[in-house]
Structure 1
Amino acid sequence: MEKILKYFLTAVIMVTLSFLLSCHNGKRDISEESGDDNSLTGTDDTTAFSEIVITKEQFESSGMKVGSPMPAMFRQTVHANGYIFAAPSGWVKISTMIPGRVRQINFSVGDYVEKGQILFTLESNEIILLQMEYVEAFYQLNSLKASYERQKALSEEQIASQKDFINAESDYRSLMSKVEGLRIRLKMINIDPQKVEQGIIIPLATISSPIHGVAIKQDLVLGQFVEPQATVMELVDVDQLRLNIHVFEKDLKVMATGQQVLYYDPDDMNRIFEATLSHIGKSIDQDTRTVLCIARLIPADRSHFVNGQFVETEIITCQRESSAIPEQALIKDEDRYYVLILVGEDNTHYIFRKMPVSIGVIQQGYAEVLDKGLKKVLTEGSYNLSTQD
């Protein structure tokens, strides 16, 4: 009996041990199962992998979209203020070389002027006296010329003294220089010296345009007395408008001629124009700490601007193509960015997972993605889901 009891107890113990061992082997290793998910990014940040489940009906009604990063151009730019100004050869200030009273005005502000057209006329005693002085000197010169040639011939034959010849030559060349100077002064006020030599005295001086362009200033009225050197009109050749850019000295190291410049009127930012950087200044303005740079405009764009107009500019110093997603696809949490990735679906639901993403430049509504292999990103509607997270 005692032997039988011993065998019975042994059998009970063996059965119990077998049962306990079978229960232990049947347990699931949760850490091993979840380890596959963490291996996707190699991070222990379990909060970054929170999942959001929505119905397909919600997805459609909210206008959500899923996509992959697409190639986009990203630019590094220098922002600077600029002004539209004509080149020095295309901007002229009109003044007179002789005093006089305004007799006639032919153009007003905004009028287009061809090169050589008469802008206005002056009348004065000085104009008449200049012509009289010229004609008197001109005829006197003929007399001195004859005397000079006679003294020269006598000197060569050693009949006249050398001193008489030198005096005659001096008088002749001195008056010749005076006549030439008076002739130039007459031409400067558009009076033909040949007519004056014929005894025709012209009472008016005409002031002509040295360039073709548009009158941007006109300070004349009929009967006004004009002093010499006073600026009374200004003309600008719109074909010579260019962009003057004031760049801070710290930005000069990334700039080079030939770079593309985008510029626009701050009051009309929807219209962006292009120019090409042609000159970089070599002197710093001590008041503003800026350097004057010049950009060449596209000829067809010049008609949209006026001389002296203020614009804002973006100088493109570098540009590259990179993968990008819409900026609205990003979810910012403190100093990190996240996106929602589609990880699964069934007949009625979508499953999204919140994943960290490395972002480069953000420009014009697109974000540069530095991570490789990113796909199935919720590109529209991520904000609505992030607020539910």
Structure 2
Amino acid sequence: MYAHEETNEVHLSESKRVKLNIRVDTIPIRSLTGNIKVNGRLALFPQHKATVTAILGANVTAIKVIEGEKVQKGQILAYLSHPNLTNLQASYIRAYNQMQFLKKEYQREAHLYEAGVGSGKAYQQAQADFLAMKGEVAGYEAQLVQLNIDTGKVRTGKIMQNVPVVSPIDGNIEKVLIQLGQFVDPNATLFMIMNLEHIHADLMVFEKHVSQVKEGQKVSFRVESIPGKTLSALIFAVGKNFEQTPRAVHVHAEIEQKQNFLIPGMYIFGEIHTGNTSVTALPKSAVVVEAGKSFVFTAKAHHEHGKTEWVFKPIEVITGLSDDGWVEVNPVESFSENVQVAWNNAYYLIAEKNKSETSHTH
């Protein structure tokens, strides 16, 4: 028994092979129930997160929610107040009333013009004045709607001293970024909201497994910070772009029976159940891992002078599906046709190879 100095081959006599119970055979095609190990994080898509900002500069007069509180779309989160807000409403009332006056003047000039007793110039001027003021009123109304102010009430003279800040989505308050009395600048962030009902598993699947993953497959996973609790999810989207380090794609899975303890950003790990797949496979004892790479040993029998000697040579493979003691193997470089390999004792063979290499260096 020895390892060849140039080719890293391990040589065994037939009697030694039998004594070690090393089985030699071709690589079979086997149906494996696939379980791909994955990890990732809990996540939310952008449409289920909201940043609530101030439309214009104002002072915070009331805060109606706290962090973690559940809110509904349209619910009041805070109130803001500033002279600019009352000035805007007053300007809207003046513009609206002026528009009503110009509308009547326009209608009067139109009636006179159609009757042939009014000038075309006066009619055109009245029309232009009315349309210009109508546009100005529309601009004020758009600003007031953004501020969640009821324009109908403002037109009746009800000026709001405090304007509400409302939630744009259903969800939970993630952050409150204001204090009472604080002046907030236009576009300043006031609140951050997350809709945790749409939390999902964002998993990373390595390139070698991507072809085995598809929508509808079941995922079993655990949250790292909550040991002993296994959750289930169903894949609803498989990414089409590779992350570069490592080469992997995002796979999104809808969580079944969501739990209150799930928070975006939590680290998760688990398995994707890919179903039965026919692959080239060997017993796990046929595969050895060294320096981060997987190897199997090809086997050739040499017959000379009535004796048989076996030559075992390590060949790098990429492993895939794993099921019931079997593992998928695919050579980095193609196997020769009907190649025979050692079905077990791969760790013994790699140890013999390394032992010989070490003694040779000395």
User: Could you say which TM-score interval applies, normalised by the shorter chain?
Assistant: 0.5 to 0.7
TM-score, normalised via structure 1 length: 0.62
1:297 to partner: Cα distance: 1.1
Task: Give the letter for the 2:19 counterpart.
Answer: T
1:104 aligns with 2:62: yes
Instruction: Give the equivalent residue in structure 1 for 2:261.
Output: 304
Between the aligned partners of 2:270 and 2:103, the Cα distance in structure 1 is: 66
For 1:264, the equivalent position in structure 2 comes to 222
Q: CA RMSD in A?
A: 3.5
Distance 1:78 1:170, change over 3 A: farther
- The counterpart of 2:194, out of the listed 233, 236, 244, is 236
The 5 A counterparts of 1:1-389 are 46-47=18-19, 75-285=33-243, 289-298=247-256, 300-319=257-276, 366-368=324-326
Counterpart-to-counterpart distance in 2, 1:86 and 1:283: 19
- Ranges in structure 2 where 5+ consecutive residues have no aligned partner: 1-13, 22-30, 279-283, 289-295, 298-318, 328-362
In 1, Cα distance between the equivalents of 2:251 and 2:320? 27
Aligned amino acid, residue 77 of structure 1:
N
Q: Deviations over 1:70-127 (max 9, x none)?
A: xxx9532333332212233322111111211111111111112233221111110111
Distance in 1 (alpha carbons) for counterparts of 2:238 and 2:262: 22
TM-score, normalising length: structure 2: 0.66
Q: What amino acid maps onto 1:311 in structure 2?
A: I
Deviation at 1:278, TM superposition (A): 0.6
Are 1:74 and 1:361, in contact at CA under 8 Å, matched by a contact in 2? Answer: no
State the alpha-carbon separation in 1 of the partners of residues 260 and 214 from structure 2: 27
Supply the AA of the counterpart residue of 1:306: I
Are residues 262 and 137 of structure 1, via their aligned partners in 2, closer, same or farther at CA, if it must alter by over 3 Å? same
Give me the whole-angstrom Cα distance separating, in 2, the residues matched to 1:188 and 1:362.
55
CA distance in structure 2 between the aligned counterparts of 1:234 and 1:243, rounded to whole angstroms: 21
SS in 2 for 1:210: coil
Structure 2 contact 35–321 (Cα < 8 Å) conserved: no
User: How far off is 1:199 after superposition?
Assistant: 1.6
Contact residue 42 and residue 265 of structure 2 kept, 8 A: yes
- 1:352-381 Cα distance to aligned partner (Å, 9 max, x none): xxxxxxxx99968x5259xxxxxxxxxxxx
Q: Give the C-alpha shift of residue 316 in structure 1.
A: 2.5
Q: Please report how far the alpha carbon of residue 250 of structure 1 lies from its aligned counterpart in structure 2 after TM superposition.
A: 4.1
CA deviations over 1:210-249 (Å, ceiling 9, x no partner): 2222111111111111112121211112211112223344
By how many angstroms is 1:272 displaced? 2.2
Aligned residues: 275
Larger Rg: 1
**CA separation of 1:183 and 1:332: change in aligned 2, threshold 3 A:** closer
C-alpha distance in 1 between matches for 2:174 and 2:57:
23
Structure 1 unaligned blocks of 5 or more: 1-42, 50-72, 322-326, 337-359, 370-389
AA aligned to 2:266 is: Q
Compare the two structures and name the one with the higher helix fraction.
Answer: 1
Is residue 64–residue 76 contact of structure 2 (8 Å, CA) maintained in 1? yes
- TM-fit CA distance, 1:158: 2.9
